[in-house]
């Protein structure tokens, strides 16, 4: 019982001091990004406010959305085939005139040691979606 009171006091003091106990900091996922998609390489995805899945077995636990700068930061799931436990920054953008593709993304960082390093990675070049992802195109997404 005493440890429960101690944990409650610690959580309260963290929230009062301006830190958040929850790992998910978010604006909120844009509606156009929520759901099930296929990219132009025929890879399938499922995207929610807290989980980005590259099917069948790669998961990114989303810990921060930055809608103004159009990126998210996520922790790579420990069970991922590669880079488990590391951090990823995914830059995204909406497309106009590229139907059926609605939006695209770039794995700007995927092997960062912590979330701060991932977040500080230089943004992808959205002005050139054909080469703005480290010299490669953004992956283009269409709804399934």
- The model's pLDDT over 55-111, given as tens digits with 9 standing for 90+, comes to 999 999 999 999 999 999 999 999 999 999 999 999 999 999 999 999 999 999 999
- Name the pLDDT band for 2 (thresholds 50, 70, 90): very low
Q: Give pLDDT, residue 13.
A: 38
Cβ neighbors of 86 (< 8 A, separation 6 or more) are 75, 76, 110, 111, 112, 113
pLDDT over 80 at 112, yes or no: yes
pLDDT over 60 at 21, yes or no: no
Query: Distances in Å between the alpha carbon of 81 and those of 10, 42, 62, 85?
Result: 36, 19, 18, 11
Query: Which two three-digit tokens encode residue 96?
Result: 């106009």
Q: Give pLDDT, residue 136.
A: 97
Domain range for 100: 20-143
Residue 102 lies in a domain: yes
In DSSP terms, 60 is beta-bridged to 52, 76
| Side-chain half-sphere exposure of 79, counting CA atoms within 13 A | 8
Residue 4 lies in a domain: no
Residue 10 lies in a domain: no
Q: Is 38 left (phi over 0), alpha (psi -120 to 50) or beta?
A: beta
pLDDT over 70 at 143, yes or no: yes
Distance of CA 113 to the CA centre of its chain: 15
Q: Which of 92, 89, 118 is nearest to 29 (CA)?
A: 92
Residue 3 lies in a domain: no
Residue 119 lies in a domain: yes
Q: Give pLDDT, residue 28.
A: 77
- Calpha distance 28→64 (Å, rounded): 9
Mean pLDDT of 8-32: 50
| pTM as predicted | 0.81
Number of compact structural domains in the chain: 1
pLDDT over 70 at 23, yes or no: no
Residue 61 lies in a domain: yes
Residue 5 lies in a domain: no
Residue 2 lies in a domain: no
Mean pLDDT of 14-28: 44
């Amino acid at each position: 019982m005493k440890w429960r009171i101690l944990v409650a006091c610690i959580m309260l003091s963290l929230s009062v001091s301006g830190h958040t106990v929850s790992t998910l900091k978010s604006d909120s996922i844009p509606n156009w990004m929520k759901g099930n998609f296929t990219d132009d390489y025929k890879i399938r995805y499922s995207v929610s406010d807290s989980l980005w899945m590259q099917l069948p077995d790669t998961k990114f636990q989303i810990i921060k959305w930055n809608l103004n700068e159009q990126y998210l930061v996520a922790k790579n799931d420990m069970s991922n085939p590669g880079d488990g436990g590391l951090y990823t920054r995914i830059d995204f953008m909406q497309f106009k005139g590229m139907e059926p593709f609605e939006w695209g993304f770039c794995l700007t960082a995927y092997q960062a040691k912590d979330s701060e390093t991932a977040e500080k990675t230089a943004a992808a070049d959205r002005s050139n979606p054909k080469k703005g992802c480290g010299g490669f195109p953004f992956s283009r997404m269409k709804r399934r």
